[in-house]
C-alpha cells in the first residue's frame, strides 16, 4: 500500500489535476490518496466564516467566488457535457449557503470545522471523478467517517484504534480502486466534522500510512524536495537528498513549511519512509526522510517564519512567573489556538513569539491584560538556523535588529525586525 498526498497547489487548476492523474496512473501498487482543498480555498472559507461571525452579507459574495472557482475547474476538466459532477457540486454548495443564512452556533471552533471542511469534501469529490474520467477506478471516502477524533474542534486529537478499524473497512470496500480521501478533516463518533490544524493534510497522510502499515508516503509539492532555505529569498538554496525523521521533526517544528510537524511521528513509529517530491517533475529524486539517513548530511538549514508577534507579559501584582501562572498563560493561548514558537522567561516577565493569529489577536491580548501588563511588537520574523556556523549567522543577521536570541548546540533562533 502506498499513500500519496496532494496539497492545495497540486490541485489548483484543471491542468494541475490533469498532471495529478498522470502521476497517479504511474503508481506502482495499491494507493490511498489524501487530497487538500483546491488552491487557497481554506483561507477563502476562513474569510467566509469571519464574515458570518461579523454578521456581514459579504459571506455570500465570498461563497460565490469559491463556487465559481470550483465550477471553472469542473467545466475545464469535463467540458459542458458532464453535468453530474457539476450538479452534485451545486447542490452541496447551496446547502452551505443555507447554513450561512442561519445564525452561527456561537461555538466558533465547531462552526469553523463544519464550514471549512467543505473545501476538502468538494476537492476530493471532483478529483475522484477526474480520475474515473481518465480511466482510473477510484473510490471516494469521507474522512469524517474513518478518521475519528475527539471534539477539540480545529485541533482535534485522533483515536488511532477506532480509526484503524474504520479505515481498514474502507480499504476493503474500495477493493483495489484508488482510495481518494480528504486531508485535514475528521469526525467525532457523533458525526460532527473536526479539523486537525491548518496544513494538516500531511498529517492525515501519515495517519493513514500508519494505520495501514503502508510501504511509503509521498507528498507531492511545488518544490523539488526539502531545501536548505526558501529559494524565493535565498537563490543558493540546495535540496537535501535525505534526512532523518528526527531532523525532519526539528525542521518542520521550526517552521520549514514543506511538511506539517505532526506528520513525522506516525511514520517514524512504523519506520515508513516519507518522500517529498515535485509534482512538476515526478521523476526527480526529491528528498527521502527515513530512519537511517546518514548523519553526515547535516547541512546548515535556514528557516524564516514571518508574521510573528512578540508578546511580553509582566504580572500586575508582581507575583513570580511560576508553574501556576504559566499554566494560566498557556490556557489562554490554547483557547485561541495560537501557535507559540519560542518562549523566554525570567522571574517576573514572560516573552512569547507567536504566529499572528489574525482576527483573534486583540481578544487574546485583552484576556491577558486582565492579569498582566502586556507589551507587544508585530510584523517580526523568527529566523532559525539549524547546524549554524558563525559566518552563516553573520550573513543572514547583519544589519538587522535582534529582539530575542536563543542558542542551543544545533540550533540558533532570532526574533528580528
Cβ proximity to ligand ASP, 37 vs 264, nearer residue: 37
| Helix, strand, coil content of the chain in percent (nearest 5) | 45, 25, 30
From ligand ASP, Mg ion, none, which one binds at residue 287 (CB under 5 to 8 Å depending on kind)? none
- Does residue 200 touch Mg ion according to CB under 5 A? no
In whole angstroms, how close is the CB of 200 to ligand ASP at the nearest point?
A: 5
Residue, CB closest to ligand ASP? 201
- In the numeric block, the cell 543572514 is attached to 396
Binding site for ligand ASP (CB under 6 A): 7-8, 36-37, 42, 119, 183-184, 198-201
Nearest to 167 by CA among 274, 28, 32: 32
From ligand ASP, Mg ion, none, which one binds at residue 279 (CB under 5 to 8 Å depending on kind)? none
Candidate residues 3, 5, 8, 279; the one interacting with Mg ion per rule CB under 5 A? 8
From Mg ion, ligand ASP, none, which one binds at residue 186 (CB under 5 to 8 Å depending on kind)? none
DSSP 204-224: HHHHHHHHHT-SEEEEEESSS
From ligand ASP, Mg ion, none, which one binds at residue 261 (CB under 5 to 8 Å depending on kind)? none
Cβ proximity to Mg ion, 52 vs 203, nearer residue: 203
Please, what's the b/e burial string for 128-155 (b: 16 or more CB within 10 A of its CB; e: otherwise)? bbbbbebebebbbbbbbebbbbeeebbb
Question: Could you tell me if 226 and 240 are in contact, meaning their C-beta atoms sit under 8 angstroms apart?
Answer: yes
From Mg ion, ligand ASP, none, which one binds at residue 252 (CB under 5 to 8 Å depending on kind)? none
In whole angstroms, how close is the CB of 336 to ligand ASP at the nearest point?
A: 17
Cβ proximity to ligand ASP, 96 vs 313, nearer residue: 96
Cβ proximity to ligand ASP, 260 vs 386, nearer residue: 260
Cβ proximity to ligand ASP, 184 vs 333, nearer residue: 184
- How many other C-beta atoms can be found within 10 angstroms of the C-beta atom of residue 47? 18
From Mg ion, ligand ASP, none, which one binds at residue 183 (CB under 5 to 8 Å depending on kind)? ligand ASP
Nearest to 308 by CA among 381, 365, 251: 381
Cβ proximity to ligand ASP, 183 vs 273, nearer residue: 183
Q: Rounded to whole angstroms, what are the CA distances from 24 to 60, 391, 398?
A: 36, 44, 46
In whole angstroms, how close is the CB of 358 to ligand ASP at the nearest point?
A: 14
In whole angstroms, how close is the CB of 278 to ligand ASP at the nearest point?
A: 17
Residue, CB closest to Mg ion? 8
From ligand ASP, Mg ion, none, which one binds at residue 387 (CB under 5 to 8 Å depending on kind)? none
Q: Where are the alpha helices (DSSP H) in 280-399?
A: 323-335, 361-369, 390-397
In whole angstroms, how close is the CB of 158 to Mg ion at the nearest point?
A: 19
Q: Where are the alpha helices (DSSP H) in 240-356?
A: 245-254, 264-270, 323-335
In whole angstroms, how close is the CB of 42 to ligand ASP at the nearest point?
A: 4
Rounded distance, CA 127 to CA 133, Å? 10
Site string for Mg ion, 34-73 (x = CB under 5 A): --x-------------------------------------
Question: Could you tell me if 138 and 206 are in contact, meaning their C-beta atoms sit under 8 angstroms apart?
Answer: no
In whole angstroms, how close is the CB of 404 to ligand ASP at the nearest point?
A: 28
**Pairing label, strands 31-35, 402-407:** unpaired
From Mg ion, ligand ASP, none, which one binds at residue 124 (CB under 5 to 8 Å depending on kind)? none
In whole angstroms, how close is the CB of 25 to ligand ASP at the nearest point?
A: 23
In whole angstroms, how close is the CB of 414 to ligand ASP at the nearest point?
A: 27
Nearest to 245 by CA among 289, 184, 204, 211: 289
Question: Could you tell me if 327 and 401 are in contact, meaning their C-beta atoms sit under 8 angstroms apart?
Answer: no
From ligand ASP, Mg ion, none, which one binds at residue 12 (CB under 5 to 8 Å depending on kind)? none
Q: Which residues bind Mg ion (CB under 5 A)?
A: 8, 36
Amino acid at each position: 500500500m502506498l499513500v500519496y498526498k496532494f496539497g492545495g497547489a497540486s490541485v489548483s487548476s484543471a491542468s494541475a489535476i490533469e498532471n495529478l492523474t498522470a502521476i497517479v496512473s504511474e503508481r506502482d501498487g495499491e494507493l490511498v490518496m489524501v487530497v487538500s482543498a483546491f488552491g487557497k480555498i481554506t483561507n477563502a472559507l476562513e474569510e467566509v466564516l469571519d464574515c458570518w461571525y461579523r454578521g456581514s452579507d459579504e459571506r455570500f459574495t465570498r461563497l460565490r467566488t469559491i463556487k465559481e472557482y470550483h465550477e471553472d475547474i469542473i467545466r475545464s476538466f469535463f467540458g459542458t457535457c458532464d453535468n453530474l459532477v457539476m450538479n452534485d457540486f451545486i447542490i452541496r454548495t447551496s446547502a452551505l449557503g443555507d447554513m450561512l443564512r442561519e445564525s452561527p452556533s456561537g461555538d466558533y471552533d465547531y462552526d469553523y470545522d463544519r464550514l471549512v471542511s467543505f473545501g476538502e469534501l468538494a476537492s476530493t469529490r471532483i478529483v475522484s471523478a477526474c480520475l474515473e474520467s481518465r480511466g482510473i477506478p477510484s473510490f471516494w471516502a469521507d474522512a469524517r467517517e474513518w478518521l475519528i477524533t475527539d471534539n477539540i474542534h480545529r485541533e482535534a486529537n485522533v483515536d488511532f484504534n477506532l480509526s484503524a478499524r474504520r479505515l481498514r473497512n474502507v480499504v476493503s470496500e474500495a477493493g483495489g480502486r484508488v482510495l481518494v480521501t480528504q486531508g485535514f478533516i475528521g469526525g467525532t463518533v457523533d458525526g460532527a466534522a473536526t479539523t486537525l490544524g491548518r496544513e494538516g493534510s500531511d498529517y492525515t497522510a501519515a495517519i493513514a500510512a500508519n494505520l495501514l502499515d503502508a510501504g511509503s508516503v509521498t507528498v507531492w509539492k511545488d518544490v523539488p524536495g526539502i531545501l536548505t532555505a526558501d529559494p524565493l529569498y535565498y537563490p543558493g538554496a540546495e535540496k537535501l537528498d535525505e534526512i532523518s525523521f528526527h531532523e525532519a521533526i526539528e525542521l518542520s517544528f521550526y517552521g520549514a513549511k514543506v511538511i506539517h510537524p505532526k506528520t513525522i511521528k506516525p511514520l517514524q513509529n512504523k519506520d515508513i519512509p516519507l518522500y517529498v517530491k515535485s509534482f512538476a517533475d515526478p521523476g526527480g529524486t526529491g528528498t527521502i526522510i527515513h530512519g537511517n539517513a546518514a548523519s553526515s548530511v547535516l547541512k546548515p538549514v535556514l528557516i524564516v517564519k514571518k508574521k510573528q508577534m512578540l508578546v511580553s507579559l509582566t504580572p500586575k501584582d508582581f507575583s513570580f512567573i511560576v508553574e501556576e501562572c504559566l499554566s494560566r498563560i498557556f490556557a489562554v493561548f490554547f483557547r485561541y489556538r495560537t501557535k507559540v514558537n519560542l518562549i523566554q522567561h525570567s522571574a517576573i516577565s514572560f516573552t512569547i513569539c507567536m504566529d499572528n493569529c489574525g482576527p483573534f489577536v486583540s481578544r487574546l491580548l485583552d484576556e491577558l491584560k486582565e492579569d498582566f501588563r502586556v507589551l507587544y511588537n508585530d510584523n517580526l520574523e523568527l529566523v532559525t538556523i539549524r547546524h549554524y556556523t558563525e559566518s552563516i549567522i553573520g550573513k543572514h543577521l547583519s544589519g538587522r535588529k535582534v529582539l530575542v536570541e536563543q542558542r542551543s548546540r544545533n540550533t540558533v533562533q532570532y526574533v528580528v525586525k
